[in-house]
Structures are given as C-alpha cells and as structure tokens.
C-alpha cells in the first residue's frame, strides 16, 4: 500500500463520518487535503495524519474524538495492521508487513519510472539558467547554477511539466565590441585596450582566430574588429557549450540576444521595437522628457524604468522586456530565472515587467537568486587569471562529486566546498556514501545470482524485520520527495533523502541476509529480500539521475 492508496482509504473513512456530523462538510474534500507524514520515531508506526485536527472545526467535533472515530474506520482497511490516536488527535497508522512489503515489487517493475508523478502536469515552464557572457570561460558561480538548474529541470520533467532549459547568450552591446578589440589587440601583439578583457585565454583566442581567418590583418580596421569579435565569440561559445555538456548539463535552447535587436528582411520592427508597443498597449508606458518609460512602480518596483532613452537608444530593460514577451510567445506560461548573487535588483524589475506585460507577477514568473560558492584551496584559472574555472573544478573534484555537492544545499545559502573531502572514498564523503550504497545493491545482486538466489518468489509478508520496515517506509517516500522538491524548486531535498536511504540500506544489509549462510538452502525469504535489495538500488539510481550524478555498479 503506497501513500496515495492510504490517503484514498483515509478519505473513504472520513467522508461518511463528516457527513453524519455535519451534512455538506465533506463537499470538495479530496485525498490531497489529507496529507500523510512518515513519523520520525518508527515506534509510532509507518504513517501519521493530522486529518482529525485539521477537519475538527469543519465537521463540528473535538479533534481527539474525531480521530478515534477515524482510527476505528481505518482498522478495517485491508493492509492496515493497527491504528493509534496520540496527543490532541494525531492518527498513527501501522501497515501489515505484506502491504508494506508489496512496494518492493512495485518499484522493481516500475524501474526508472518510479518516482515520476503528475504534480506539475499541464505546466509549461521556461527555465533560464547560467546565461554567462560569451566573453570568457565559465566560472565557479556558473557551475553552481548549472548543477542546480539542470537538477531542477529534471525534477520538473519527472513531475510531468513541459520544460525548456534555456541559455540566454548576452551577445549584443558594448561588451562584445570590447571583447573583439581585446582579441584583435592580442592578434596584433598590442596591450589590452582600456576596459577590455585580459588573460591567457584571450591570447589563445587570438591565435585560434588567426588560424580561422589568416587574412584578418589584411582587412580595414573596422572590419578587423568585427571579424575578431564574431570569430572569437563563436569559439568561446563553443567552449562554454562543451564545458556544460562535459558537466552533464544539456540546454534545449540557446537564445541569442542579437535576435531581439535584429530587424526582419522587410525592414519591419525588431522584437525590441514591438516590445515597447506591446507594453504601451497594456497601459503602463509613458513618455517623459523625450524618453520612454515603463511604470514598473505599479507592480512593486522601487522606481519606474526607462526603456528607450531620449537619444533613441534602448536600455538593457528593453531587451529584458522583449525577451520576456518572446518566452510567452513561444508558449511558456511560466518563466523561471536563476540569477547570481549580484542580481538582487532584477527581482522586482522582472516581476514588474511581468505585470506590465499583463501577466500575474506572483504566478507567471519566478526569480531565484543564488548565493556565492567558494572552494577551499582552489587556485585561480591560469588562463583567465581572476576566476576559478568550471573545467578546472571538474577536472580536480570530478563531475559527480561537484554536481552532487552543489545540489546538496539550498541555492540561497552560501557554500564552501572541501575538495579533499569530496575526493575521499569514505563514508564522510556524501556522494561516495550514496554511490557506494548503490554499488553495494549491485554487488549483492551479483553474489545472489552466483548463490542461486533469484526473484522467482515474492512473499512480502516476510519483510518484517525492523530494518526492513524502516527501509520500505523510506522507499515509499520517494515519489512525494520528488514532487515536493519540484514544487519548491529545491533539488537538495533529493540529495538529503538519498543519504537517509543509503543509511537505512546499510543498516538493513548488516541485519538481513539475501544469501543463505554456509550450506543453508535458499528460501523464499532470501528471494523476497532480493526484491527489496533491487528496489533500493533502483530508487538510489533514480534519485542520483535527478541530480545528474552517475550510479556506478562497482566501486
């Protein structure tokens, strides 16, 4: 019996009780209104519900009295071994071993699909993250957002949402010209121009541009800069894309800012031009001192924003507006922005923009701000000179350890990584601890096969040891953890769950044998325990995949 089945049974018991006490009080009540929790103390049972306290006023009953009536009804439900009322009206439910143990077979048969759910079905989400300037390599801050954003996308997809992982390429504006001039200076053996980009990576780009365009120095000065800029941009963007793919992060859309400013072949308006007109049509644009403004203070912004200056030039806010509207035009009703620690000012600005566009700022847009991450003992990039590069971190710590560690903490908490710990093959290292548990399930399965233990029998009532009850209780929780982590955008909840599950599995392994001792015969209990072993391995594997981390079969 899974939590959904138990909630449905709880609803079936409560509905007639509520109607008998106060007709109409059960109208609109659903199983989702009757949440179940796994007690921290396993002595209190497999599941607990506060339904009686939650509904007491609604049905006109004392909480404990209502809880007692509900408990009596639940005791007759198949699969429920016992029900107790505790405190002011908590209902503690214990399942019989067969009902609880049946989950092991369910998980094995579901395979990679176990944990998927429909909690986000119908949601069309554009998830933008990383969005680094294509003027240099990815650094440690981008690395954190890459891990979190990709894991968030995996959770949303597992929960039924339609999701596009999107990278916004900031490839327009003065920064790109400074980038081009910097690369051109490197090609010509000249000093970095004022305000330009420096570092060995610029020299490398210069050499690579020269290989692709050996004629560059024969061009006139203006054309030289354009060729240097665009060729270096293409090369640097390729490096960024390769770094992310090597980090097991895939983007569905690479959106160029240049698209927003480009005019169609017929000379019509650009997307930025159209954005101003569309916001004006919503009634939140006004003109003042020859400039065009958006009245974002109507939606909580600290000041109104200029979208077009008096000289006719657009501001960055104009590109933000065009980009936001374009996401909606592509069918994404909900937009999530993952931004770095230095982007707090964007929160009100983007929410105000959503409101000015006619959307609901509290519903249609989320802006998540991440905090800084540092690494003990890390050296600055030899190429860039002033940053810690993603590729250097990945080579030093490893993709799995780095991704797991970055996903293990909430985005809004500052984080310091300890590479020496993350490189250890000990239980002190969280990613090793979880991966080792998964590898151990495969080792048990291999040894079982060598000993003649297979899954030809399944008697869930035999899974009655206290460590089996605890392990099954944790396995039941996985779909709920996935759905909740997706809803609150917190991948770290999956990581912490996996560590708990790994601990419960190791304790079970120490207490319950899958393989008979000595010359003892293979019995039904051994075959049944193999189902539980393999179910645990499947959930560990599914959870690690949601974090973009591998699940090795041998360690």
Q: How far is CA 416 from CA 147, 349, 405, 433, in A?
A: 15, 30, 10, 20
Residues of the chain with confidence (pLDDT) below 70: none
Mark whether 497 and 484 lie in a shared domain.
yes
What residue ranges in 116-201 does DSSP mark as E strands? Answer: 124-128, 162-169
Report yes or no on 447 lying in a domain: yes
Residues 413, 421: Cα–Cα separation, whole Å: 20
Residues 432, 267: Cα–Cα separation, whole Å: 58
Is there a contact between 384 and 327 (Cβ–Cβ < 8 Å)?
no
Mark whether 131 and 224 lie in a shared domain.
no
Residues 56, 68: Cα–Cα separation, whole Å: 12
Report yes or no on 273 lying in a domain: yes
**Can you tell me whether residue 448 is helix, strand or coil?**
helix
Which of 186, 215, 246 is the last residue before a domain boundary? Answer: 246
Mark whether 294 and 335 lie in a shared domain.
yes
Residue appearing with tokens 């159209």: 274
Note the pTM of the prediction, 2 decimals: 0.90
Residues 543, 435: Cα–Cα separation, whole Å: 11
Q: State the pLDDT at residue 480.
A: 93
Give me the number of domains the chain comprises.
4
Which of 356, 373, 390 is the last residue before a domain boundary? Answer: 373
Report yes or no on 529 lying in a domain: yes
Mark whether 431 and 495 lie in a shared domain.
yes
Is there a contact between 549 and 400 (Cβ–Cβ < 8 Å)?
yes
The CATH code of the domain that includes 323 is 3.40.50.620
The CATH code of the domain that includes 51 is 3.30.1360.70
**Can you tell me whether residue 394 is helix, strand or coil?**
helix
The CATH code of the domain that includes 517 is 1.10.730.10
Q: State the pLDDT at residue 46.
A: 85
283-333 pLDDT per residue, tens: 999 999 999 999 999 998 889 999 999 999 999 999 999 999 999 999 999
Domain that holds residue 178: 174-246
Mark whether 53 and 188 lie in a shared domain.
no
Percent helix, strand, coil in the chain, to 5, is: 55, 10, 35
Report yes or no on 394 lying in a domain: no
Token output for 373 = 């991450």
Mark whether 33 and 160 lie in a shared domain.
no
Report yes or no on 431 lying in a domain: yes
Mark whether 241 and 281 lie in a shared domain.
no
Mark whether 107 and 134 lie in a shared domain.
no
Mark whether 160 and 183 lie in a shared domain.
no
Mark whether 280 and 165 lie in a shared domain.
yes
Residues 320, 325: Cα–Cα separation, whole Å: 9
392-416 pLDDT per residue, tens: 999 999 999 999 999 999 998 989 9
Report yes or no on 214 lying in a domain: yes
Q: What is the torsional sign of CA 509, 512, 518, 524?
A: negative
User: Tell me, what DSSP letter sits at residue 132?
Assistant: -
Crossing angle for the helix pair 390-397 and 140-158, to the nearest 10 degrees: 70
Mark whether 258 and 365 lie in a shared domain.
yes
Mark whether 163 and 296 lie in a shared domain.
yes
Q: State the pLDDT at residue 202.
A: 97
Residues 183, 193: Cα–Cα separation, whole Å: 10
Residues 120, 524: Cα–Cα separation, whole Å: 40
């Amino acid at each position: 019996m899974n939590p959904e089945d138990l909630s449905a049974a709880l609803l079936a018991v409560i509905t007639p009780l509520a109607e008998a006490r106060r007709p109409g009080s059960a109208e609109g009540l659903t199983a989702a209104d009757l949440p179940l929790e796994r007690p921290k103390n396993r002595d209190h049972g497999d599941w607990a519900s506060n339904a009686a306290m939650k509904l007491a006023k609604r049905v006109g009953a004392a909480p404990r009295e209502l809880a007692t009536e509900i408990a009596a009804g639940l005791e007759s439900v198949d699969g429920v071994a016992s029900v107790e009322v505790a405190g002011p009206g908590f209902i503690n439910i214990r399942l019989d071993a067969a009902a609880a143990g049946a989950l092991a077979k369910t998980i094995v048969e579901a395979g990679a699909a176990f944990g998927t759910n429909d909690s986000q079905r119908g949601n069309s989400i554009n998830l933008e993250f990383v969005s680094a300037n294509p003027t240099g390599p990815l650094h440690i801050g981008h690395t954190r957002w890459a891990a979190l954003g990709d894991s968030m996308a995996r959770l949303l997809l597992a929960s039924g949402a339609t999701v596009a992982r999107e990278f916004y390429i900031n490839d327009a504006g003065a920064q790109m010209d400074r980038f081009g001039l910097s690369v051109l200076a490197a090609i010509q053996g000249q000093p970095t121009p004022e305000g330009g980009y420096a570092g060995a990576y610029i020299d490398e780009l210069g050499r690579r541009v020269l290989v692709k365009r050996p004629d560059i120095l024969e061009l006139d000065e203006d054309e030289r800069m354009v060729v240097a800029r665009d060729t270096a941009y293409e090369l640097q963007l390729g490096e960024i894309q390769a770094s992310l793919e090597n980090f097991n992060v895939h983007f569905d859309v690479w959106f160029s800012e240049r698209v927003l400013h480009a005019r169609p072949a017929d000379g019509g308006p650009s997307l930025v031009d159209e954005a101003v007109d569309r916001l004006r049509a919503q009634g939140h644009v006004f003109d003042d001192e020859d400039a065009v403004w958006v009245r974002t203070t109507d939606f909580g912004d600290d000041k109104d924003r200029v979208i077009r200056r008096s000289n006719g030039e657009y501001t960055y806010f104009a590109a933000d507006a065009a980009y936001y509207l374009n996401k909606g035009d592509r069918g994404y009703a909900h937009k999530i922005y993952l931004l770095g620690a230095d982007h707090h000012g964007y929160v009100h600005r983007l929410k105000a923009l959503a409101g000015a566009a006619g959307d609901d700022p509290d519903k249609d847009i989320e802006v998540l701000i991440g905090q800084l991450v540092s690494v003990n003992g890390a050296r600055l990039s030899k190429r860039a000179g002033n940053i810690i590069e993603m590729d250097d971190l990945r080579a030093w710590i490893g993709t799995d350890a780095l991704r797991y560690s970055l996903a293990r903490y909430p985005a809004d908490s500052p984080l310091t990584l300890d590479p020496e710990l993350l490189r250890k093959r000990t239980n002190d290292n969280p990613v090793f601890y979880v991966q080792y548990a998964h590898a151990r399930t495969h080792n048990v399965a291999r040894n079982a096969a060598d000993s003649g233990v297979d899954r030809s029998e399944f008697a869930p009532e035999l899974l009655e040891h206290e460590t089996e009850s605890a392990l099954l209780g944790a396995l039941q929780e996985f779909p709920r953890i996935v759905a909740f982590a997706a809803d609150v955008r917190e991948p770290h909840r999956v990581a912490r769950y996996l560590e708990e599950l790994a601990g419960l599995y190791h304790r079970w392994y120490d207490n319950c044998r899958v393989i008979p001792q000595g010359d003892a015969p293979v019995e039904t209990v051994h075959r049944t325990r193999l189902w539980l072993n393999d179910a645990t391995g499947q959930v560990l594997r599914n959870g690690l995949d949601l974090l973009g981390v591998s699940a090795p079969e041998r360690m």
